[in-house]
Amino acid sequence: MPTQYRIIAAGAGWIDRSARGRLRFDGPDRLSFLQALLSNEVATLGLGRGVYATWLTPQGRMITDLRVFNRGDSVLANVPADLAPRLVERFDSVIFTEDVQVQDVTGSTAQVRVIGGDAATVLGRALGLDADGIRALPLFGQTDVPGRSIFIARTDDARLDAFDIVIPVAEKDDVVKALEQEGASPMSEPLAEALRIDAGRPRFGVDMTEETIPLEAGLLERAISTTKGCYVGQEVIIRVLHRGAGRVAKRLVTLKFAAASETSDAGVAADLPAAGMGAPLLPGTPLSVDGREIGRITSVASSPHDGRTIALGYVHRDVAEVGNRVIAATRAGEMAAEITAFAG
């Protein structure tokens, strides 16, 4: 994997993300409708701008996360795979007097992600756009391909430059061909997953569920406005932030496991095979400190940089500090890891 990563870091790679859901909101009340439901600012989104947000229950638990794009005549929301049909029904159920319509356009559209150190140049050449303009896009900002129903949006799924192309499904193969002609390499799912984990980005359904409070997953800065008016679940979020000083019972963190030559403080051997090659470290693996269970792993991969095992996992708030060491109890024995950052 490090070899494939070096190729992409110097150029670009692409991966099909069409399985993610795409919802289209139409009608004059589309922005105000979403503003009243979602945790981030939507009403003030300018044309071609976007935002990451969550939709919460009144108890402050996550229904889903979304990437919301103002397309001018509509709003496109990018949602987790397989959730689109259920989310359409749920949005429909809370439309009362608002003039807004929501439809699932997943089947009629496709989505291709391009990641790499030279991703903007490759995209510009493949789609006939100015590479500097693509490179200058703000997070979730969009640019359109003239004369085609295609747009590009900057994302934050990796430390490298990352962009999503949303395309009519009939044009996907042509776009992929153009990307490859300009040097983009097909990217493996393990590498894409490793880039996500390396960047500390939680995935709904894997690192976040319908039981998750977004503050636990580190989404305060990314997905929550602390200045907007009312939205569903806001009371719980404000209560934690103001009365609880933002402290939640657990926090999602990034972990890096010791190399073969290293040992834990307790002298426990920390040799781990690369993820995906028989590694005993799996989602759900318990984490402990001094023999006390303090959390569990949610995602695991082989580092794109050096092949060492990296992971996301929840740990008790008393342990959630960068530099702390934890132990993962696997079927092959105990493995030592260091908390390297907070996820989110």
In a domain, 158, yes or no: yes
Q: Answer left, alpha or beta for residue 82, where phi above 0 means left and psi between -120 and 50 means alpha.
A: left
119 and 7 belong to one structural domain: yes
183 and 254 belong to one structural domain: no
Q: Which of 163, 191, 219 is the last residue of a domain?
A: 191
Q: How far apart are CA 325 and CA 95, in angstroms?
A: 48
For residue 259, the domain's CATH number is 2.40.30.110
159 and 51 belong to one structural domain: yes
In a domain, 132, yes or no: yes
In a domain, 227, yes or no: no
Q: Which of 152, 175, 191 is the last residue of a domain?
A: 191
- Tell me the pLDDT tens digit for each residue of 84-132: 999 999 999 999 999 999 999 999 999 999 999 999 999 999 999 999 9
Q: Tell me if 294 sits within 8 A of 336, measured CB to CB.
A: no
SS3 227: coil
Q: Which of 176, 191, 206 is the last residue of a domain?
A: 191
For residue 156, the domain's CATH number is 3.30.1360.120
pLDDT at 263: 42
Bridge-partner residues for 252, per DSSP? 314
pLDDT at 260: 53
Q: Which amino acid is at 40?
A: N
Q: How far apart are CA 268 and CA 39, in angstroms?
A: 43
SS3 257: strand
Short-list 316, 342, 339, CA closest to 257: 339
Q: Tell me if 203 sits within 8 A of 194, measured CB to CB.
A: no
pLDDT at 271: 36
21 and 117 belong to one structural domain: yes
- Is the whole model's pTM more than 0.85, yes or no? yes
DSSP code at position 41: -
162 and 291 belong to one structural domain: no
21 and 146 belong to one structural domain: yes
Q: Which residues contact 259 (CB under 8 A, 6 or more apart)?
A: 270, 308
Q: Report how many domains make up the chain.
A: 2
Bridge-partner residues for 311, per DSSP? 255, 300
The three-state DSSP-derived secondary structure of 294-315 is EEEEEEEEECCCCCCEEEEEEE
Q: How far apart are CA 299 and CA 311, in angstroms?
A: 5
pLDDT at 277: 35
pLDDT at 8: 95
pLDDT at 229: 86
Task: Please give the angle made by the CA atoms of 143, 106 and 162, to the nearest 5 degrees.
Answer: 40
Domain carrying residue 96: 2-191
Q: Tell me if 67 sits within 8 A of 217, measured CB to CB.
A: no
125 and 48 belong to one structural domain: yes
In a domain, 201, yes or no: no
pLDDT at 331: 81
In a domain, 117, yes or no: yes
In a domain, 229, yes or no: no
In a domain, 91, yes or no: yes
187 and 306 belong to one structural domain: no
- Tell me the pLDDT tens digit for each residue of 297-340: 999 999 999 889 999 999 999 999 999 999 998 887 889 999 99
Q: How far apart are CA 134 and CA 15, in angstroms?
A: 18
Cα 325 vs. chain centroid, distance in angstroms?
25
In a domain, 203, yes or no: no
- pLDDT below 50 — which residues of the chain? 261-279
Bridge-partner residues for 153, per DSSP? 142, 164
165 and 20 belong to one structural domain: yes
18 and 88 belong to one structural domain: yes
